[in-house]
Amino acid sequence: MKKMSRGLLLLVTLAPLLAVADVNVGDLPEDTIWYLHADLEAMRDGEAGSKLYAWFEDEVVDDVREEVGIDIGKEIESLTAFADLQDGTVIIANGPMAKDTQDKLLALAAQQGPVDPREYKGKTYYFFGDEDDPGESGGKFLEDLEDSVFVSFAVQGKALVTGTEAQMQALLDNKGKVSGPGSHDGALLVLTANKALVQAGMQTDALADEDDDDWDSNILRNTREVALLVADKSGQLAIEAQLQSTDPKMAQALGAIVNGLIGLQAFNSELEPGLQNLIRHTRVEVLENVLSISTLIDPNLVVTILDE
């Protein structure tokens, strides 16, 4: 079960390299604490995204294919993952997902422990884990999938993974779709753009250590949430990040630091041309308690950095 959970964690961790913006506030539960959406099909077809996908295929897809006989590139077209405080983690993979692939995934999970098939309104799902020891509840960062998890292939073209049975049954009722309440107070920030490749966001409260007084922890304690967007713009990666601080002074301080770092490197002749171009195109803006950073970067430079 832990190996299966780590495999899911790997896929979710890598998903920002493959993500396309297809999530809005109305798609997320009201108490969502993090989210991401990934679309491998769109990544393969994108001018800038295809270069990142080629790296991902060499580094990940080929290894998974060799080790477990599953071709992620063919079986999964898109992935949505998020967690909320009440029901924990939800992962929804969309794609053809052949019956042979489903059987392989169930067999891998069964190697770690008993499989408990269950029925809900004529649809089958599977429970893996110890029902008397369900592990973490409402896990913030996939902890709730470490010791128990629910999986279903009952909705055509989808693989559903949840941390709670109630969430699984709700997804089965709604044909594998998640419906949020629409715009509401306290909703997570969602950045969107045409031809987006990466879309992610999270609340940062859980990251701060209240017993730690260093600069990093002070930033986290004064940050409400962060959001990230990477879009394909004329073959370049257009990156936008936003940080919402609880204290406008903290946003101003962070903005000044970033501007200072840019200024220090602006005339550094030893920098590679790609990094010099990145610095020239970086823009920093602070509006009240919101820090925004945007830039353009060559996808070949990103691949080079990943290879290093």
| pLDDT digits 0-9 by tens, 164-194 | 898 899 999 989 887 665 555 556 777 776 7
What pLDDT, on a 0 to 100 scale, did the predictor assign at position 117?
Answer: 93
Task: Sketch the domain layout of the chain as residue ranges.
Answer: 2-173, 204-307
Predicted model pTM = 0.77
Helix intervals (H) in the chain: 2-14, 40-45, 49-56, 62-68, 72-75, 99-110, 165-173, 215-221, 248-265, 273-280, 299-307
Higher pLDDT among residues 305 and 123, named by residue = 123
What pLDDT, on a 0 to 100 scale, did the predictor assign at position 18?
Answer: 46
What pLDDT, on a 0 to 100 scale, did the predictor assign at position 4?
Answer: 43
What pLDDT, on a 0 to 100 scale, did the predictor assign at position 247?
Answer: 85
What pLDDT, on a 0 to 100 scale, did the predictor assign at position 12?
Answer: 46
Q: Is the pLDDT of residue 15 over 60?
A: no
SS3 169: helix
* CA distance linking residue 46 with residue 18, whole number of Å: 11
| pLDDT digits 0-9 by tens, 221-275 | 778 888 888 888 888 888 899 998 888 998 898 899 888 888 877 777 777 777 7
Instruction: Sheet containing 236-245: give its strands across.
Output: 115-120, 123-129, 148-152, 158-162, 88-94, 78-84, 32-39, 196-203, 223-233, 236-245, 290-297, 283-287
